[in-house]
Amino acid sequence: MRAVLIAAMSSARRRRLQSLVVFVVVLLSAATTLLAAALLIASDAPFDRAFTRQHGAHLNAVFAPSASAFDDPAVTARSGPYPIVEATLSKGRQQRPPGVVAGRSEQSPAVDRLELTAGRWLTGTGQVVLSPITAGSTWRVGDRVTVRDVDLEVVGIASSVTATAAAWVWPGQTDVLGGAGQQVLYRLSDPSATPDLPGMTGSTRYELVKLQVEGRLKPMVPFVVAFAVLGLVMSTLIVVNVVAGAVVAGYRVIGVRKALGFTPGQVVAAYAGQILLIAVPAAVLGTIAGRLLSVPLLAGANTAYSVIAAPSVPWWADVLVPAGLTLLAGLAAAGPALRAGRLSATRAITMGRAPRGGHGFRIRRALAVLPLPRPITFGLASPFARPARTAVTMVAILLGVTTVVFAAGLSKSLIALAAAGNRVEQVPILVAVTGRPPLGDGDAVRAVIEDQPGTAAVTTARETEARVPGSGLPLSIRAYQGDASWTGYPLLSGRWYAEPGEAVAGARLLSSFGVRVGDELTVSTPGGRTTVRIVGEVFSNGSTAVMIMDAAGLGGSPGLRGFEVSIAPGTDPHAYAANLNAALGETAHAQVSAETQENEIVTAMLALIATLTLLLTAVAGLGVLNTVVLETRERVHEIGVLKTLGMTPGQVRLMVISSMLLIGAAGGALAVPLGRLLHAWSLPIMGDAAGLTLPSPVLAVYRPAELVALGAAGILLAAIGALVPAGWAARSRASTALRAE
Amino acid sequence: MTDLIRLRAVSKRYEQTGPPALDGVDLTVAAGEAVAVMGPSGSGKSTLLNLVAGLDRPTSGDVEVAGTALTRLSEKALARFRRSGIGIVFQFFHLIDDLTARDNVLVPADLAGIGRRAARARATELLETLGVAGRADAYPAQLSGGERQRVAIARALINRPPLLLADEPTGAVDAATGEQVAELLRELNRNGQTVLLVTHDADLAKRCATRTIEVRDGRVTA
């Protein structure tokens, strides 16, 4: 046993660089695994978890200022009444859309416990706490904002899971609150119950908020889950590859030890022990690093999910991740060590020392006649001399580049998905209407927008809830006044509506009501019954069934949703929105659609994907470095000979880097179709999971030039992995290399 | 006769403490000479050869070979110098396993950028001279010890270097082959090739060298 332990420790010490690479790979893999697990946790029912944790309000009720009775038997807990007012917050020229400002002294009452993400809670008048949506990315603690002409200091940023207010001020801030209404937040014994509250003038149920949040999230969750799973799988494969490669490199030593009397079991124990000596501290440190990294990442994820207070990674992950990775590394080492242990001593020494002949020699000869500098042909030929080592390197490159190809595709699909849903290119400006003076109604607002310099097109968007007679399922009808064919809904099949009796519909509507393009559908709206023919299917990323049609085809007067505006080429959307807001006054609010919350979610998601991609690429790069180091070490004698024969340090560098080029090119060439296949295979599955039919811009994201560039990433990864060992080889003294023999 | 090798007060230390591997060595070898460097293991023979070959640098002193001061050359310039300035024959041949005998011989010519046709003609000529032309397409593993050493000598001579260094060239071959190698070196010297031979075999030194020097504890003693 002592001999085994000494052998394990001396091997780990002797091959310091290789031990370091295994250490860093296991460390990064542990960090990646923990992050991936954290991401999976964050994407699992984020709203429900936040709702439970924050004692979210089942019902957000608004009462008249004079109301005084707020209780009902169905109510199990309540917070409030809080005085509220709907107001616009501004900081300099920046203005937020009108929202509820509530007067509230308690941060954590029985219902709706607010979670602070920055600063502190209110202590008196003159202060305001903003919701994360109101704060956005530009308003911070310490800023001064104006609400109803009152100057307030931002002292904190806090989140309510059911978004009960855009901002909170001290109840005594009467110059802001002004007695417009009262807000009471309820927990109900039966969340679906409708309490009898006589003075209630308006309400929002939590199901609606949940539907909105999850509707925004649902299409994205499968993407995040897919990436987290990719992170787990890739980390596992790379650890196995690096560890197995390290053991294969030690075959000669295994043979020597067998000759000295080691049994196969002792050989396995020595190698597994050597790897475990490195893997255990690496996995523990990696888990700690992953946990530290997960704090900002989970915060980002939860901002993306519109909920805050990151769920912490459960304690068992801290045990499971290092234990799992250590076990994995041990098993990865035991496999090849067991094989080597079963070989005869001389066979193990031979396998660990001599390159394989046959095809390798013939290919080297064939390459030697190419009109290329000798160091390059030497380098290009070397992978063929050691097919097993080459396979290990190629797998490392394949995994790394596949990750990059898949991650790049996933990022582009996510952007395309958001663009398809938000239509930010076609509709760069959205205008919401408050109905307040000076303009009053929608027609007047539309006239102002049409007259605004830079306006290319404008359409009035109305919306109404509807039902299909005989069905209990609700559907939403979006009705446009005037031409709306330019608004950019991706058409999946059929055509855009051409007349009032026609409509296009989202996949959820078609599946919910069992209709197809070409069918007629009768819907019941507050304005009466209408029959329309579905002439096309459009992409819709919401969780509700949506039908889009001309407003002229609907009876009654559907509610005004706002205006969708296209601007002339070359017009700055921010300047346009600012000028339009100045012209609209308090009646309406124009916003650059790219800055809406949905797009901040995409940004946060992309940051997560980029972090994981970076980690995985680093792990893959280290895998390559590891194999090149092994390869260079093995060839140290040959390099020494070549140096004595007159190979310059530059030529040695060229030879070592060339030795990786073919492997890199082959790995990259295989990884591109593999990454594409993975993308093409997984995207529709993700779409199905989210109940979406994905439009072609979401699926066909790879351009030929990009694929060539991604394929070249294999060569780049291999070359980068080879750079450091190439430098060592170039600097090594020939006399030392020859003595090493 | 002009001096081909000139060592002036050359010392080499591998470690700060401990005795030097070479200690203030002065040595000159004239063109056309065959000098045998003898001495026991660890005396500094191989260090001397490495310094002359430009494979290592002295701690102090000057090494000049064929008029080139090696101590002032960069690693790149040293490599270029080795290509055409010297040929080295090792005890363990140091042939490249996955190249044929002919391709092994061609390596220095390829690195020196000599035209393929001319290099092949020279390689064929050398292999014929050394009696291994029939084994030109064999890999080192398929060659006997003597054949390997002949191929190694052919490789050392392909760029017509003015100086041939031989480090225990018969140390890894049987007696009969050793005899052939010794004869080959003697023949080369007779034809004008300067040879610096490192050996602890007195018989070999006697048969091949026109002059013998002895190295002990890092100093030239005779």
Q: Count other C-beta atoms under 10 Å from residue A240's C-beta.
A: 17
Contact B151, B101 (CB under 8 A): yes
Among A389, A645, A731, the strongest candidate for a mutation testing the B interface, having the largest count of B CBs within 10 A, is: A645
Residues near B1 by Cβ (< 8 Å), separated by ≥ 6? B30, B31, B32, B33
d(CA A725, CA A382): 15
Put simply, the answer to whether A354 touches B97 (Cβ < 8 Å) is yes
CA proximity to A97, closest of A420, A599, A436, A415: A436
A646:B112 CB<8 A: yes
Q: Answer whether B163's CB lies under 8 Å from B89's CB.
A: no
Is B82 close to A645, i.e. CB distance below 8 A? yes
**Is the CB of B56 less than 8 angstroms away from the CB of A733?**
yes
- By C-alpha distance, the chain A residue nearest B96 is A638
Name which of B76, B84, B139 is nearest A648 (Cβ-Cβ): B76
Chain B residues with CB inside 8 Å of A733's CB? 55-56
Locate the chain A residue with the closest alpha carbon to B56: A735
Find the CB nearest A374 among B50, B97, B110. Answer: B110
List, run by run, the mean pLDDT of 10-residue segments along chain B (222 residues). Answer: 89 85 92 92 88 90 92 88 89 83 90 88 91 90 88 91 90 81 88 91 89 91 74
Q: Which residues of B touch A640 (CB under 8 A)?
A: 94
Q: CA–CA separation, B54 vs B50, rounded Å? A: 6
SS3 A511: helix
* Nearest-CA distance A250 → chain B (Å): 20
CA-nearest residue to A650 within chain B is B76
CA distance A440 to A657: 72
Cα of A349 to nearest chain B Cα, Å: 16
**Rg, chain A, Cα only:** 32
Q: Which two tokens stand for residue A272?
A: 């597994």
- The separation between CA A599 and the C-alpha centre of its own chain, rounded to angstroms, equals 12
Q: Which of B49, B55, B42 is nearest to B27 (CA)?
A: B49
Question: Is residue A336 reached through a cis peptide bond, with omega within 30 degrees of 0 on the bond before it?
Answer: no
Give the dihedral sign, CA A531/A532/A534/A535: positive
pLDDT of residue B61: 93
Question: Can you tell me the distance from the alpha carbon of A587 to that of A73, in angstroms, rounded to the nearest whole number?
Answer: 40
With CB atoms and an 8 Å threshold, state whether B79 touches A647. yes
Cβ-defined contact of A364 to B55 (cutoff 8 Å): no
Q: Is A740 on the interface with B (CB under 8 A)?
A: no
Residue B11: predicted pLDDT: 93
Closest CA–CA distance from residue B81 to any residue of chain A (Å):
7
The ipTM value here is 0.87
Confidence (pLDDT) at A741: 44
What part of A 346-385 touches B (C-beta under 8 Å)? Answer: 354-355, 357, 360-361, 364-365, 368, 374-375, 381, 385
Query: Cβ–Cβ of B103/A368 closer than 8 Å?
Result: yes
Asked if A401 and A668 count as a contact pair (C-beta separation under 8 A), the reply is: yes
Q: Could you tell me the mean pLDDT of each successive run of 10 residues in chain A, 741 residues long?
A: 65 71 82 75 71 83 77 79 83 74 88 87 90 80 88 90 86 78 85 75 74 63 68 69 69 71 77 82 88 70 50 76 84 77 66 54 72 84 76 79 84 78 80 66 82 90 78 77 85 88 85 84 81 88 76 76 88 88 81 63 66 74 74 78 89 88 88 90 77 79 88 83 82 70 44
DSSP 8-state secondary structure symbol assigned to residue A36: H
Q: How many CB pairs under 8 A join A and B?
A: 81
Cβ-in-10-Å burial (0-12, 13-18, 19+) of A389 comes to buried
A623: distance to nearest CA of chain B, Å?
A: 26
Distance of CA A497 to the CA centre of its chain: 35
Query: What confidence score (pLDDT) does residue A541 get?
Result: 66
Side chain identity, residue A641: V
C-alpha separations of A721 from A238, A245, A656, A717 in Å: 15, 15, 10, 6
The Cα of B206 is separated from the nearest Cα of chain A by a number of Å equal to: 27
Partner-chain residue, chosen from A355, A374, A650, that has the shortest CB–CB distance to B97: A355
Q: Following DSSP, what letter does each residue of A100-123 receive, concatenated? A: EEEE---SS-SS---EEEEE----
Q: Given its phi and psi angles, is residue B195 left (phi above 0), alpha (psi -120 to 50 degrees) or beta?
A: beta
Which residue of B98, B105, B117, B163 to mutate against A (max A Cβ within 10 Å)? B98
Verify whether the Cβ–Cβ distance B97 to A645 is below 8 Å: no
Task: Determine the Cα–Cα distance for residues A329 and A336; give it in Å rounded to an integer.
Answer: 12
Instruction: Tell me which chain A residue has its CA closest to the CA of residue B142.
Output: A357
What domains lie within chain B, and their CATH numbers? 3-94+161-220 (3.40.50.300)
| Residue A695, preceding peptide bond in cis (omega within 30° of 0) | no
CA B41 to chain centre: 18
**Amino acid (1-letter code) at residue A393:** T
- E-strand stretches of A164-322: 167-169, 181-188, 200-205
Any B CB within 8 A of A387 CB: no
Nearest chain B Cα to A737, which residue? B55
Q: Do B98 and A355 touch (CB under 8 A)?
A: yes
What is the rounded distance in angstroms from the CA atom of residue A318 to the CA atom of residue A294?
12
Cβ neighbours of residue A152 under 8 Å, at least 6 residues apart? A126, A127, A128, A144, A145, A146, A169, A173, A176
pLDDT of residue A309: 46
Q: b/e map of A613-635 (b: 16 or more CB within 10 Å)?
A: bebbbebbbbbbbbbbbbbbbbb
In this complex, which of B53, B80, B139 lies closest to A644 when CB atoms are compared?
Answer: B53
Contacts of B98 in chain A (CB under 8 A): 355, 357, 360-361, 364, 381, 385
Chain B contact present for A642, CB below 8 A: yes
The pLDDT of residue A308: 44
Asked if B92's CB is within 8 angstroms of A642's CB, the reply is no
SS (H, E, C) A122-176: CCCCCEEEECHHHHCCCCCCCCEEEECCEEEEEEEEEECCCCCCCEEECCCCHHH
Query: In this complex, do A651 and B79 lie within 8 Å of one another by their Cβ atoms?
Result: yes
Instruction: Report the half-sphere exposure of A612 (CA within 13 A, side-chain side).
Output: 37
3-state helix, strand, coil in chain A (%, to 5): 55, 20, 25
| Interchain contact, B79 vs A643, CB within 8 Å | yes
- Do A651 and B82 lie within an 8 Å CB cutoff? no
- Three-state SS for A387-442 is HHHHHHHHHHHHHHHHHHHHHHHHHHHHHHHHHHHHCCCCCCEEEEECCCCCCCCH
Instruction: Report the candidate in A124, A179, A120, A176 with the shortest Cα–Cα distance to residue A151.
Output: A176
**B59 Cα to chain A: minimum distance (Å):** 15
d(CA A34, CA A321): 7
Residues in B closer than 8 angstroms to A386, CB to CB, are none
Q: Which of A385, A644, A734 sits opposite B98 (nearest CB)?
A: A385
Interface contact B92-A741, CB threshold 8 A: yes
Q: Are B169 and B91 in contact (CB under 8 A)?
A: yes
| Distance (Å) of CA A43 to CA A39, A555, A685 | 6, 41, 17
**CB-based burial label for A197 (10 Å; 0-12, 13-18, 19+):** buried
Minimal-distance CA residue of chain A relative to B47: A735
Residue of A nearest to B54 (CA): A644
pLDDT tens string A124-134: 888 999 988 78
**Considering only CB atoms, which residues of chain B are within 8 Å of chain A?**
50, 53, 55-56, 75-76, 79-80, 82-84, 88, 90, 92, 94-100, 103, 107-108, 110-112, 139, 141, 155, 159
Question: Do the chains contact at B55 and A648, CB–CB below 8 Å?
Answer: no
Residue B165 amino acid letter: L
Closest CA to B78 of A679, A403, A529, A648: A648
Cα angle A655, A660, A664 (rounded to 5 degrees) comes to 150
Q: Smallest Cα–Cα separation from B105: which of B92, B118, B119, B91?
A: B119
- Minimum-distance CB partner of A645 among B98, B100, B108: B108
Q: Pick from B96, B58, B193: which is nearest to A360 by CA? A: B96
Percent helix, strand and coil across chain B, each rounded to 5?
40, 25, 35
Residues of B in contact with A637 (CB under 8 A): 94
Cβ <8 Å between A649 and B88? no
pLDDT at A249: 67
